[in-house]
Amino acid sequence: MHHSIRKHLALVPLALVLLVPAARGGESDALPSAVSNANAQLLSQFFGQGGASPAVLEYRRKLAEYQAIRGAFDAEAAAYWSQVSEKRKGRNAKRRSGQQITLDDYVLEQPPVYTGPKRPVNPEPEETPERPPRKPLPVASDLLRAAQDLYQFTPQRPTSEVEFKRAYARYALASGLTREQAVRVYSFETGGTGNYDVQAGIEHGGKRAISTAMGYNQLLTTNSVELLAEQGHEFVRALSDKVARSSGPARQVLEHKLVVLKKMVAHAKAVPDTWSEHEKIGDTAQGWAMHAMVLDVDIGPMLQTHKLLTSVLFARAKGYTRPLTAAELEMMNLTGDGTGLDMVTMPQAMREQVPTSNFFQRGGYERNPVAIRHNTVAKLLAVTDDRMDSNSSKPGARELAAAF
């Protein structure tokens, strides 16, 4: 008999043996129907488990238990996050009609937390579907190559970090940002040490980019495309003024830069003005070339400034005239202007009570340990301020503050 068959048959329950009458005269008698049915049922159960080992049977029992508990939790969580979504829609409708937002417009309970068993580990080997290879994220060298290939342009890098900081400080102040806003947001985004070309992941000893976020205010490729589309006219005007004040070889360099900038702005404006459309461009070589402008000593400070200034102007346009603190501005920078303003316009008493979950989708919240630990608006703003405080004393932050 084949070894594996012997192994499986050895596991057949003893009840099967006890149910089989002894053979007489070399022939077995016909089995009574009750015995036959019971025998068949046990065989069915046994072979339905594939002759599974005790470890596999225990795994399947635990898996069923896990699935039942996890399923109940997921149903509870789905109901919670559906309520969060409905409350958000209600707040948006009230704002559009000019009605006051109250505590009743938020979910005041914290989201449910799963405390059940972990998914058990299958003792049998399982086939795992092959994942497509992850598309590598572009780094500075990729951005520069794209700019050269598509626009025959190489961004003008600063001769020093101080030169870039001074250019940023001049443009930021002239545009309406305060030193406190710029320095404290820089301190939060870069840890108080980042250079003008710092990229998320490639910092503090990191070796691999984790996103396309780059610069003092960590612009994504999509941010660069969107800013060129929406603020490009301002960039063109500012650079045109600089061309008019220059002469000789420097003027020729700036004139070429202006031609390229106008082309990029036209390309960014060629699609509908939505984040999703700008994101599509940002994921192409053309978007990489536009993102390379973050590195340019003339255009980079404009992009960095308007990444924050658009939030300031958004709040002002919505009737919020009080100057934004750096922590409030960072909330708008991180979560988007609409969501951020929802937190910013909230009175302190409400900030103490409203959970941060009201400003997230479920997946984003569950991947954000900071929002989970600091689970009210007041706590989230406080920890942001604390991080800004501690990082503002670091060398890069002090250097930027001096540039103002």
pLDDT tens digit sequence for 337-379: 888 999 999 999 999 999 999 999 999 999 999 999 999 999 9
Among 11-15, 238-242, 290-294, 298-302, name the one with the lowest average pLDDT.
11-15
CB atoms within 10 A of CB 9: 12
**Which segments within 336-380 are labelled E, that is strand?**
none
Query: What is the pLDDT averaged over residues 199-218?
Result: 88
Instruction: Quote the pLDDT of residue 275.
Output: 94
Query: What is the pLDDT averaged over residues 150-174?
Result: 97
| CB 137 within 8 Å of CB 278 | no
What is the amino acid identity at position 253? V
Strand partners, 376: 355
Query: What is the pLDDT averaged over residues 184-212?
Result: 90
Q: Please state, in angstroms and rounded to a whole number, the distance separating the CA atoms of residues 57 and 63.
A: 10
Structure tokens at 384: 């942001």
209-222 pLDDT, tens per residue? 889 999 999 999 99
Per-residue confidence at 151, pLDDT binned at 50, 70, 90? very high
What is the amino acid identity at position 12? V
Query: What is the pLDDT averaged over residues 160-173?
Result: 97
Instruction: Quote the pLDDT of residue 50.
Output: 53
Per-residue confidence at 53, pLDDT binned at 50, 70, 90? confident
pLDDT of 8 strictly over 90: no
State the pTM of this model.
0.79
How high is the mean pLDDT of the chain?
87
Domain locations along the chain: 3-22+30-48, 54-105, 140-403
DSSP letter assigned to residue 23: P
Structure tokens at 172: 């930021």
Strand partners, 214: 199, 219
What are the distances in angstroms from CA 202 to CA 136, 139, 155? Answer: 14, 9, 20
Q: Please state, in angstroms and rounded to a whole number, the distance separating the CA atoms of residues 224 and 289.
A: 10
Backbone angles phi, psi at 396, to 5 degrees: -65, -40
Q: Please state, in angstroms and rounded to a whole number, the distance separating the CA atoms of residues 209 and 222.
A: 16
Per-residue confidence at 51, pLDDT binned at 50, 70, 90? low
Among 38-52, 56-70, 241-255, name the one with the lowest average pLDDT.
38-52
Q: Please state, in angstroms and rounded to a whole number, the distance separating the CA atoms of residues 108 and 344.
A: 17
Instruction: Quote the pLDDT of residue 180.
Output: 96
Q: Please state, in angstroms and rounded to a whole number, the distance separating the CA atoms of residues 330 and 339.
A: 12
| CB 265 within 8 Å of CB 332 | no
Q: Please state, in angstroms and rounded to a whole number, the distance separating the CA atoms of residues 105 and 83.
A: 10
Instruction: Quote the pLDDT of residue 381.
Output: 95
Cα-only R_g, the chain: 31
Instruction: Quote the pLDDT of residue 131.
Output: 79
Per-residue confidence at 146, pLDDT binned at 50, 70, 90? very high
> Which has the higher per-residue pLDDT, 289 or 133?
289
Query: What is the pLDDT averaged over residues 323-332?
Result: 93
Range picked from 123-137, 162-176, 317-331 for highest mean pLDDT: 162-176
Structure tokens at 158: 């600063």
* 253 Cβ contact partners less than 8 Å away, ≥ 6 residues apart: 156
Q: Please state, in angstroms and rounded to a whole number, the distance separating the CA atoms of residues 324 and 311.
A: 9
> Which has the higher per-residue pLDDT, 205 or 86?
86
Q: Please state, in angstroms and rounded to a whole number, the distance separating the CA atoms of residues 137 and 212.
A: 7
> Which has the higher per-residue pLDDT, 195 or 13?
195
> Which has the higher per-residue pLDDT, 106 or 13?
106
243-287 pLDDT, tens per residue? 999 999 999 999 999 999 999 999 999 999 999 999 999 999 999
| CB 89 within 8 Å of CB 338 | no
329-346 pLDDT, tens per residue? 999 988 888 889 999 999
CA torsion 120→126→129→135, rounded to 10°? 60
Query: What is the pLDDT averaged over residues 309-321?
Result: 91
Query: What is the pLDDT averaged over residues 176-183?
Result: 95
Instruction: Quote the pLDDT of residue 401.
Output: 97
b/e map of 193-210 (b: 16 or more CB within 10 Å)?
bbebbbbbbbeeeeeebe
Among 109-118, 131-140, 173-182, name the one with the lowest average pLDDT.
131-140
Instruction: Quote the pLDDT of residue 113.
Output: 93
Of the CATH numbers 1.10.530.10, 1.10.3720.10, 3.90.1150.10, 3.10.20.740, which one belongs to the domain with range 140-403? Answer: 1.10.530.10
b/e map of 106-141 (b: 16 or more CB within 10 Å)?
bbeeebeeeeeeeeeeeeeeeeeeeeeeeeebbbbe
